A and B are shown apart, each in its own frame.
Chain A
Amino acid sequence: MNTPPESLKQLQTHFSEAVFSDQRGLIAESVTQQGALSAEQRVGIYRNSVHGILWQYLASLYPVCNQLVGEQFFEGFSDLFIDQHPPTTPFLADYGDGFAAFMREHEAFAKIRWINQVAELEWARHQAWHATNQVVSDFSLLGTLTEEQQLSAQFQLPDSMWVLHSPYAVHQVWLVHQPEDYGGKIPLEEIQLQQDDYIIVWRSERQLQQVQINEQQWQFLSAVRQNKSLAELSEQFQEQVGVLLASAIQHGWIISFRHY
């Protein structure tokens, strides 16, 4: 493959700068003025177009955050994010990572930290949707293992699974902003915002699932994610390990196992 000439590389760099910042002067030198619009204004059309697409995309990724802060603020904030975090891959579904972290660092959210936690939940939902399918183990084969193999068994969560903990009631906040009639929805004014929330998000075939779990279930799934063996899980969770494991497998939170 030939290396592009330096002038083309420069042209691309200047164009990218014009799209993802207000620096339009350099690229404008390469653009012909025509009609009533100046060269800079003509380049500005591209900037507005790219920003418009990415802003709409972010709004579709973070619909609850969009409602919480209002469309006008969301659009302005998205503009800031897009300029500082332009896309780095040609796959649009990759875009939007870091939006929650960007919120966390921005002073506008200093007193409403819970909103970036909602953004993290929405990002988890997006990622879960795009995760690949996996083969499910035949768990009846656990019965054919030797005692040593059973003790060494490690269990796997679906690749799509996100195990989240928030100091805020983000599941209820998310729920109340859904147009659909989900079960367990309570009015916004009745939500006690400052309470620990343990949530899992995963995709089961073509259904995105989002469930509140208790602290022990969260600890168990976190330990499974750390590849702890059944012996280690038994040590940590004692008499509860049987219920926790069987329940996780039954719900599809654990889909396979391996042993040594």
Chain B
Amino acid sequence: MSNSKILATAAITSVLALGLTATSGVMAADEKAEMEKCAGVVKAKMNDCGANGHACAGMAKTDGDANEWVKLPKGTCEKLVGGVVLEG
């Protein structure tokens, strides 16, 4: 076995020792849950899209602003204090 092969095998062993599986939380496109816009619950800088006179995601200035929204799986928003489902 060449040196590279030994090193490569050892590298794979190191990765397997981490015990990782594909549960890191990034969903495949075809597994996406139905989403809805939820306002009033977003932390500053965590908003999804333009509102409040700014153009971008991540530009909300205050926590819990009633005009800032974030997309959440359908049904989640109504369970949150201050959460208001937006149309569209």
Query: Would you give the shortest CB distance from A206 to chain B, in whole angstroms?
Result: 7
Query: Would you give the shortest CB distance from B69 to chain A, in whole angstroms?
Result: 13
Q: Which residues of B in the span 27-78 have a Cβ within 8 Å of any Cβ on A?
A: 27-28, 46, 54-59
CB–CB B22/A136 < 8 A: yes
Give the contact-size bracket for chain B. Answer: 20 to 34
- B8 partner residues in chain A, CB cutoff 8 A: 150-151, 230-231, 233-234, 241
Q: Is there a chain B Cβ closer than 8 Å to A115's Cβ?
A: no
For the complex of A and B, the 7 pairs showing the least CB-CB separation, nearest first, are: A138-B22, A242-B14, A234-B7, A246-B14, A242-B11, A234-B4, A136-B24
Q: Which residues of A in the span 179-212 have a Cβ within 8 Å of any Cβ on B?
A: 205-206, 208
Q: Is there a chain B Cβ closer than 8 Å to A52's Cβ?
A: no
Q: Fill in one digit per residue for A221-244: 1 if any B CB lies within 8 Å of its CB, else 0.
A: 000000000110111001101110
Q: Which residue in B10, B18, B46 is a CB contact (below 8 Å) of A139?
A: B18
- A34 partner residues in chain B, CB cutoff 8 A: none
Docked CA distance A235–B5 (Å): 9
Q: Fill in one digit per residue for A111-125: 1 if any B CB lies within 8 Å of its CB, else 0.
A: 000000000000000
A60-B56, A249-B20 known; A135 vs B28 contact (CB < 8 Å) = yes
Would you call the interface of chain A mostly helix, strand, loop, or mixed? helix
Docked CA distance A142–B10 (Å): 12
- B19 partner residues in chain A, CB cutoff 8 A: 140
CB–CB A147/B26 < 8 A: no
Interface size on A, residues (CB 8 A): 40
- B81 partner residues in chain A, CB cutoff 8 A: none
- B27 partner residues in chain A, CB cutoff 8 A: 133, 135
Docked CA distance A137–B28 (Å): 11
Instruction: Supply 24 A–B pairs (Cβ within 8 Å), ascending by A.
Output: A57-B55, A60-B54, A60-B59, A92-B56, A93-B56, A129-B57, A133-B27, A135-B22, A139-B16, A139-B20, A139-B22, A143-B16, A230-B11, A231-B8, A234-B7, A234-B8, A235-B4, A241-B10, A241-B11, A243-B14, A245-B11, A246-B17, A246-B18, A250-B18
Docked CA distance A53–B56 (Å): 12
- B57 partner residues in chain A, CB cutoff 8 A: 129-130
- A234 partner residues in chain B, CB cutoff 8 A: 3-5, 7-8, 11
Query: Would you give the shortest CB distance from A220 to chain B, in whole angstroms?
Result: 11
Docked CA distance A110–B47 (Å): 37
CB–CB B46/A206 < 8 A: yes
New A-B contacts (12) at CB < 8 Å, excluding given A130-B57, A233-B8: A57-B55, A134-B26, A135-B28, A139-B18, A139-B22, A142-B15, A143-B16, A145-B12, A241-B8, A241-B11, A242-B13, A249-B18
